[in-house]
């Protein structure tokens, strides 16, 4: 409604409530300029916040960005970043409403996304109840596979490209967020730290146990190919890899889910997240195997 | 409505629009840990964004914060920062709705403030018209005087304390923002970079000239004392000092302004900001004198 250039932007909030999510991305920690272009970083930074908004059951409406940039940052990198923000926003019909830019010795990106609930109740992490089912929409393990390939220095090639691109530009299933809310999801979040860890937040906030059946996961073909290349178990990426920003939601068992949602487990009484009936502890996946 | 702990927060936006402002503060550039406590930095970081929201004529409702912190940051500094955010929000009846924390080699603070217009039109920078008057509410030159004292290494003493505290905790006149909108202000901003520079934005956005009468400025007693201590002209701090987050607004000449607003100039046809009939150019105040 009023964009960049004033003290503040004005954004429509027809619902009378606004959903707001903020993240800080630091060069060297959340992205590497030798691995990702400015455009990719813009897409990714926008995606992770827009996905947070979608995971509440809201439709993202706008983004505001605070940028810290070194004096020697190439202008084309900054232009790419801006284009990336714009294009990722366009995917959901949102726009960049405003921002702030300042000097900093490294690239720092503060992203805040706003969204509208359209009359729906927000879908939090605390609504999972025993007897409900756990389902995921979107990709799992892709970004982790891409990161592993880049870290291992595997030369890029067409067969492996899809997971590397997934690392650079997540592509969350935004529309599934409000869609899940309409279907009656009782809890939801976006998978940013890995499915096991993120479902652990749902289990804790809801006071329940979540049991996953790893046989239920359809491991993506590109993830399998990358796993073979590196000689690892692809299921590890699927269960512990973050940054794909898939959506994980809990539904009453009677809800008829469309095929975009894959049922991967169920909610029972208790605590923690169990795979094959065993809890993945602090020592992680390797120890569990 | 829904605070920290989920993917995103939910904030009331009864107006159906939401005002949003974001800033990135970098250690060493926007604050120094040897000059300001964590608490002071929290107050100041919150204040500058809450003031941006107030300068649109809105009432601030909430703040979200993205934090980058070094591993060796003392916990009490972080606690102080959090307390500072909370206390500055409390001044306007707002609250901290959510945030994100990550590691970074230096302290980086991304602050986003939201506000509600309560049915009023946003007061932008582009509404100044010839024949109107320019007025300011709040303090001018205090923070600049405090910064100059700290930079000069003047030992802190009770007489000079007020300006040093003003540098650390600005104390913007928040309520005057929505108040100005109610009075019929046609343009407004908060003074963050210095009155001359900020009014330059109003002049440019509105396509007008602003003429200031420096004799109209009541130089604060603590600013005069600090100026005497350092042997400088206090009016320089008043006209070019930023960070007090006073509000500068343009009103139709027939509006009867309450005493909290001090008329300091008028809007005429033309461009730029003139003091004593002369424009302060890029070479700044010293050259002008």
ipTM associated with this complex: 0.90
- Say what the pLDDT of residue A285 is: 52
Cα A108 from Cα A104, distance rounded (Å)? 7
**pLDDT band (50, 70, 90) for residue A103:** very high
Higher pLDDT: A58 or A6? It is: A58
Tell me if A108 and B24 make a contact (CB, 8 A cut-off): yes
A158 vs B274: which has the higher pLDDT: B274
CB distance B23–A100 less than 8 Å? yes
Interface test with A, best of B112, B118, B172, B198 (most A CBs within 10 A): B112
Chain B stretch 218-257, residues whose beta carbon is closer than 8 A to a beta carbon of chain A: none
User: Mean pLDDT score of chain A, rounded to an integer?
Assistant: 92
Beta bridge partners of A11: B18
Q: Which of B22, B106, B122 sits opposite A110 (nearest CB)?
A: B22
Region A172-191 average pLDDT: 97
Count H helices and E strands in chain A, helices first.
9, 12
Q: Which residues of A touch B121 (CB under 8 A)?
A: none
Q: How far is A229 from chain B (nearest CA, A)?
A: 32
Query: Contact A24/B189, CB-based, under 8 Å?
Result: no
Bin B39: left if φ > 0, else alpha if -120 < ψ < 50, else beta: alpha
The pLDDT tens digits for B80-104 are 999 999 999 999 999 999 988 999 9
Q: Does B27 touch chain A (CB under 8 A)?
A: no
Report the b/e string of B142-176 with b at 16+ CB within 10 A: bbbbbbbbbeeeeeeeeebebbbbbbbbbbbbbeb
| Residue-level pLDDT at A282 | 44
Q: What is the pLDDT of residues A220-258, one digit of tens each?
A: 999 999 999 999 999 999 999 988 999 999 999 999 999
The whole-number pLDDT of residue A143 equals 94
Q: Is B116 on the interface with A (CB under 8 A)?
A: no
Task: Give binding residues of A as ranges.
Answer: 7, 21-23, 30, 52, 99-100, 125, 190, 192-193, 243, 285
Cross-chain Cβ contact B22/A58 below 8 Å: no
Nearest-angstrom CA–CA distance, A222 and A207: 36
E strand intervals along A158-260: 187-190, 209-212, 247-251
> Which of A9, A103, A125 minimises the CB distance to B6?
A125
- Asked if the Cβ–Cβ distance from A52 to B7 is below 8 Å, we say yes
Residue A281's pLDDT is 53
Q: Please indicate if any CB of chain B lies within 8 Å of the CB of A105.
A: yes
Tell me the C-alpha distance between B67 and B75, whole Å: 13
Answer yes or no: are the C-beta atoms of B136 and B264 closer than 8 Å.
yes
In terms of DSSP H, where are the helices of chain B?
A: 38-54, 75-91, 142-152, 161-168, 176-183, 195-206, 221-230, 234-240, 284-288
Interface residue B14 vs chain A (CB under 8 A): yes
Predicted pLDDT at B282? 44
pLDDT score recorded for residue A276: 79
H or E element at residue A268: strand A262-268
Contacts of A56 in chain B (CB under 8 A): 6-8, 10
B226, B149 Cβ separation under 8 angstroms: yes
The pLDDT of A33-48, averaged and rounded, is 94
Q: Which of A37-46, A66-75, B17-26, B273-282 has the lowest mean pLDDT?
A: B273-282
How far apart, in whole angstroms, are the C-alpha atoms of residue B6 and residue B97? Answer: 10
In this complex, do A110 and B105 lie within 8 Å of one another by their Cβ atoms?
A: no
All domains in chain A, ordered by first residue: 19-116 (3.30.1330.10), 133-288 (3.90.650.10)
CA-to-CA distance for A255 and B154, rounded, in angstroms? 70
- Interface contact B112-A22, CB threshold 8 A: yes
Q: At a CB cut-off of 8 Å and minimum separation 6, what does B37 contact?
A: B77, B80, B168
Q: Select the residue of B9, B21, B105 nearest A8 (Cβ to Cβ).
A: B21
DSSP B117: -
pLDDT the model gives residue A289: 42
- Those residues of chain B that have pLDDT short of 50 are 282-284, 286-289
Burial pattern A207-243, b for ≥16 Cβ within 10 A else e, equals ebbbbbeeeebebbebbeebbebeeeebbbbbbbbbb
What is the model's pLDDT at position B289?
A: 42
Question: CA end-to-end span of chain B, whole Å?
Answer: 53
- pLDDT-derived band at A156, boundaries 50, 70, 90: confident
- What average pLDDT score do residues A74-81 get? 96
Residue in A18, A57, A63, A177 to test binding to B, most B beta-carbons within 10 Å:
A18
């Amino acid at each position: 409604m009023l964009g960049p250039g004033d003290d503040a932007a004005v954004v429509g909030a027809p619902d009378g409530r606004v959903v707001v999510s903020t993240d800080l991305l630091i060069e060297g920690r959340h992205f590497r300029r030798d691995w990702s272009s400015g455009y990719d970083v813009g897409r990714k930074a926008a995606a992770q916040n827009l996905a947070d908004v979608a995971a509440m059951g809201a439709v993202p409406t706008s983004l505001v960005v605070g940028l810290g940039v070194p004096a020697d940052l190439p202008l084309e990198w900054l232009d790419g970043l801006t284009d990336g923000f714009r294009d990722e926003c366009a995917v959901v019909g949102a726009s960049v409403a405003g921002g702030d830019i300042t000097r900093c010795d490294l690239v720092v990106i503060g992203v805040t996304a706003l969204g509208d609930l359209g009359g729906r109740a927000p879908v939090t992490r605390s609504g999972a109840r025993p007897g409900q089912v756990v389902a995921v929409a979107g990709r799992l393990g892709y970004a982790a596979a891409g990161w592993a390939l880049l870290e291992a220095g595997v030369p890029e090639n067409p067969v492996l490209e899809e997971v590397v691109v997934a690392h650079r530009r997540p592509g969350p299933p935004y529309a599934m967020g409000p869609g899940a809310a309409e279907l009656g999801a009782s809890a939801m979040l976006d998978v940013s730290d890995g499915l096991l860890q993120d479902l652990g937040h749902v289990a804790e906030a809801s006071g329940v146990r979540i049991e996953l059946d790893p046989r239920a996961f359809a491991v993506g073909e590109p993830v399998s190919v990358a796993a073979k290349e590196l000689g690892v178990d692809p299921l590890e990426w699927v269960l512990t890899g973050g940054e794909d920003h898939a959506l994980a939601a809990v539904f009453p068992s009677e809800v008829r889910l469309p095929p975009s949602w894959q049922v991967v487990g169920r909610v029972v009484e208790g605590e923690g997240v169990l795979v094959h009936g065993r809890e993945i502890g602090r020592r992680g996946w390797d120890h569990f195997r």
